[in-house]
Structure 1
Amino acid sequence: MTNEELTAVYNPVPLGICVLNRQKHIVFVNKGFRELLNDKRKQVEGWPLEKLFPVFEQSYFKQRLEQVFNENVPLFLSSGLHGVEVAQGLGKKDAYCEVSLAPLIKRDDHYAEQVVLTVEEVTSTVKQIKQQKNLLKCLRRQLKESEAVKQIMEGVQLELQEANAAKDKLFSIIGHDLKTPFSALVAISDLLMNNSHKDTDGKERRRLYEAIWLTATQGIEFVTNLLNWAQSQSNSITALPCHFDLDKLLSELQAFYRLSMQKKSISMRLTYNTSNSRVFADMDMIKVVLQNLLSNAIKFSRNTQLIEIELVAENGNRTRILVKDKGLGMPAHILKSIMRKKRVKPGLGANMEKGTGIGLSVCHEFLEANNSSLLIESIPGKGSTFSFSLANSAKGFHSQSITDVSEHPN
C-alpha cells in the first residue's frame, strides 16, 4: 500500500496505528499514533520496531512477530504485563497501553508484506482496576476486624471478586478482541471497495465488500456505545474540558462518514451563524455525542436527502449545535421515552439499517457531564432536529447550570 492509501485508510481511525514492513521498520504512522508520541519522537518513520518498543528485542516476541508476517497469526500485548513498557516507548510516564498486531494481506497473497500495529492508551481503565483491587484489600481488613460478620462478608467478597473478574473479562473482550479487529476490517474493506472498480466483472465482489464494511461499521458503533454507556453507569464519568474548534471536529466527522453518506447519496451542509466556533468542553465526549447524532441522522434519512449541521451564537457566551435531518422522524411516545432517559428498542433506519438503542442514552450522560442537555424536535415522516449548547470559555463552563429545555412538543 502506498503512503497516500495508508493515510486515507487509517487517519480517520480513532486509535494509534503504525504500519511495519517486512524488515520490521515503521513505514507509516497515522494521526492518532503521532498524538500518542511525546514532542521528541514525532518523526519515527524508518525506525526499527524494537527502537520504539524494546520488548520486541526479546526472542519470544521476535518469533511471534515473524508469525504475524508469515503465518497470519495476530499478536496482542496486554496492559497488565507489558502496558508500562509500551507506554515508555511512546515517551509516557505512569501510563498503560495495549498493543495488537495484525497482518495486512493483499489479495491473492499468502503472507503479509506489511503488518498493522494498533496502540490504545488504557491508563484510566487500569487505574480503575487498581482502585477496585484496593477496595478488596480494605474489605479484607474489615473482615479481620469483625469476626461476628466474617462469614457474611466472605460471601460478599467472593461475589465481588467474581463480579469484577466477569466485568474485567467482558471489558477486555469488548474493548480489544472486538474493537481492534473491527477497526482493521473497516479500513481494509474500505480500501478494497475503492479498488474494486478496476475489476471489470467485480459487481458481486463489491457487494460482498460493502457487506463486510457495513457489518464492521455497525460492530464498532455497538462496541463504542456499549463501552461509553457502561462507563456512564459506573459513575466514573468525569469531564476533562479544554478549548477546541468545533469547525475542525465537524470537518473530521464529515470526512469519517463520507462513505456512509455516499451509499445513500446523502449530502451534508455545515452552516455557521456565529463568528466563534471555539468551545470549552470535553472534546472526546462531544465527539461521541456528535458521532451518535450524525450516525442517527444518516440512518434515518432517505436516499438523496440533506443533513444540516448549524452552529448558532447564543446569549451568555455559548454556542448551540443543531443536527437536522428530513428523514423518518419519531412518534411522540418514543420521543418521550428518550427524553426520560429510558433505553428504547432500536428502530430500523430508512434502508432497514439496525441500531443499538443506547446511543442517545450516552449523549444524555455526556452532555450532562459538560453542563448541557439534549433538545429534540421530531415530527413523524418529516424529520428530526437534535441540539445542545456548549460554553465558549472556561468561565462560562463552570458558571453555567443546565437550562436547556429537554423536550420540545411535536
Structure 2
Amino acid sequence: MTDKPTRLELENQVAELKRQNEILRLQLSPQNQQKKRQKESLVERNSVADAYIRTILDNMGDSVFVKDDQSRLVLVNDAFCEMFGLPREEIMGNTLAEHVPPDERESFLKIDRQVLADGKENINEETLTLRGAETMIISTRKSRYVDASGKRFLVGVVRDITASKKAEQALKKSEMQLRELNATKDKLFSIMGHDLRAPLNNILGLSELLIESVKKSKTAKSEEYLALVVASVKNTLTLLDNLLNWAKSQTGEISYKPERIDLPSVIREVFELSSPIAKAKNISLRQTASEEIEVYTDERMLKTILRNLISNAIKFTKSGGSIIVSVVLEKNKVQFSVADNGLGINAEVSKKLFEMSANTSSLGTANEKGSGLGLALCKEFVKKLGGDIWLESREGDGSDFKFTLPMNR
C-alpha cells in the first residue's frame, strides 16, 4: 500500500509551485523581458568591444602590457609576445622575472612597485639580451591605472629603439669625424700658408747670397750656401709630397700596390735622400738590417714612412748625434725601429703625437720648424699597410719610433 503525502507535505508542494509560478510570471513580464534583452545586448556589446580592443592592440607596432599589483601580466598584445619570443600562454599570469637572471630580478620589479605605489609615470631605457643572444635597446613607458573597485594595475608600452639609438650613435660619430676633418682642414691651410712660405723665403734668401758669393768668387761660401739651398729644397719637397699624399689618402686616391722588396736597399735609398740634412747637422745615419729580409708591401708608402721618421729624428737630434734604423723578424711580421739619441718626448706629448688635429709640432735642436703632418701621415700609411706604429721615449733620453708590417698581406 502506497503512503499518501501528509497535509504538510502537500502544503509545501503547493507553496513551491506558487513560488515557481511567480518567478515564471515575473520572467515573462514585459519589463523583465526588456531587462533580459538589455543584459544580453550589454554582454554582446562588451564581447564585441573586447574583440575590437584585442584587434587594435594586436595591430599596434609597439608592445603593450597590463600588470596587476603583483606585477603579474594580465594582458599582452601580439607585438609583446613577438618581442620577448614567448607564447601568450607562457606569459599570462607571470611576472617575466622568471626569465631574468636571479641577481637582476629585484631591480627588474623595483620600477613596477614604485609606479604602483606613487602613481608617477616612468620612462626607462635599457639594453635587453633576448634568448637568441640578440641584443636590443628598449624604451618602456609605465603608468598606474585604478579601476572602479580601487584595484591598481600597471599599464605599459615597450618600444624597440635599437635602430634610432644606432642612428643617433652614427650621427654622433659623423659629427666627431666632421670636427676632426675640419681641424685637419685648418691644419692644412696653416701648413700651406706658413710652413711652405718660410722655406721658400729661405731658399730665396740663400739664392741671393749665393749669387753675391759667385760674383765675388768666394767658392767656399758658395758651396756652403748651395748645400743649404739643396737641403731646404729637399725639405720643402718632402713637405709638398706629404701634403699631396695626405690629401690623396683622405679622398681614397692612394692605391695599395704591393710587391716583393728588399728592405736594406729601400733603407739605403731613404738614407741617400736624408743624408744632406743629416750631414748639415753632423748626425750619422746607420742601419742594422739583414740582407735576407724581404717583405711584400707597397714600396712607395714604406719609403714615405721611413723618410718622415728619419726626418723627424734628425730634427730632434743634436749635432754629433746618431740615428739607427733596424729591422727584425717577428714570426709573420717585420718590426722597424728608427732610434735616435736626441731630446726625447714627454708622455703628455706622446699621446697626441700621431694625431693630425693635435698641434704637437715644436722647434728642433737647430730651431727647425715642422708641420706636424709627417707623423700623422706615417700612422695613416702604416694602418693602410696592415701594421701598427708606436713610440718608446723618455724626455732627455732620445726616441725610438717603431712600427710593424706583415710579411705578406
TM-score range, shorter chain: 0.3 to 0.5
- TM-score normalised according to structure 2 size: 0.46
- TM-score normalised according to structure 1 size: 0.46
